[in-house]
Amino acid sequence: MATPLHPHSQTGLAAGTRTIHPVWLRFTHWLNALAVSIMITSGWRIYNASPLYDFRFAAGMTLGGWLGGALQWHFAGMWLLTANGLFYLAMNLGSGRLIRRFFPLSLRAFAIDLTAALRGRLSHADLRHYNAVQRLAYLFAMFDIAVLVLSGLVLWKSVQFATLRTLLGGYDAARHIHFIAMALLSAFIVVHVLMVALVPRTLAAMIRGR
């Protein structure tokens, strides 16, 4: 006799063994976390050499040891961040997952889910489904990383990327944009890691896939 399917299963496997995050997604997520950590901490060291604002980052929080070392880390990390990000986007778009997982998305759904989350009433029973707050936060992270890469290109090769530089409002504006995008991504990471700590099952799924 055929084994009955689990009522919520898409694969016919029992609950708990269903694939939540495919291998390519987990692989790119953790590589991205590594690349972003390298970029942010080496970026802080580069910033310290010529601060844009009235403060410096504590040297102990930075990567590279000195300006030259930090630049080496930043340029190495930039290839990993960009190649990995493009692969993630191509897989996400090509498989139709981006549309399935992150849309529809409305301001109303976001307001409802945010209110429920703040009251501690947002269900996290089905890990295959992102709520509207997660959808917006993750789409924001993707957009913000794209802004970081584009403004970074202007700072790196200002002459070669002249059109992009003009679009961003000039070299100095690109520096501010790059810094603000870094600060927003850092804020995302703090909240993201806190949320994961509150629902540790999500971490297991992002490591094992199931």
Binding site for ligand HEM (CB under 6 A): 25, 29, 32-33, 36-37, 101, 127, 134, 138, 141-142, 189, 192-193, 196, 202-203, 205-206
Q: Which two tokens stand for residue 123?
A: 């269900």
Alpha-carbon distance of 31 to 119, in angstroms, equals: 33
Least Cβ distance, residue 171 to ligand HEM (angstroms): 26
**Which of these, 25, 62, 68, lies nearest to 45 by C-alpha position?**
62
Q: Report the Cα 70 to chain-centroid distance in Å.
A: 22
- Smallest separation (angstroms) from ligand HEM to the CB of 61: 15
If the CB atoms of residues 48 and 134 are measured against ligand HEM, the closer one turns out to be 134
Q: Whose Cβ is closer to ligand HEM: residue 168's or residue 205's?
A: 205
Measured CA to CA, the distance from residue 148 to residue 32 in angstroms comes to 13
Q: HSE on the CB side for 165, CA within 13 Å?
A: 14
Nearer to ligand HEM, 97 or 175 (CB): 97
Q: How many CB atoms lie within 10 A of CB 28?
A: 21
Closer residue to ligand HEM, CB minimum distance, 114 or 142? 142
Place of tokens 């029992």: 14
Min dist. Cβ of residue 98 to ligand HEM (A): 8
Give the nearer residue to ligand HEM in terms of CB position, either 142 or 147: 142
Type of residue at 174: A
Question: Which two three-digit tokens encode residue 3?
Answer: 């084994």
* Shortest Cβ 51–ligand HEM spacing (Å): 24
Distance CA 6, CA 12 (A): 6
Q: Minimal distance in Å, beta carbon 44 to ligand HEM?
A: 14
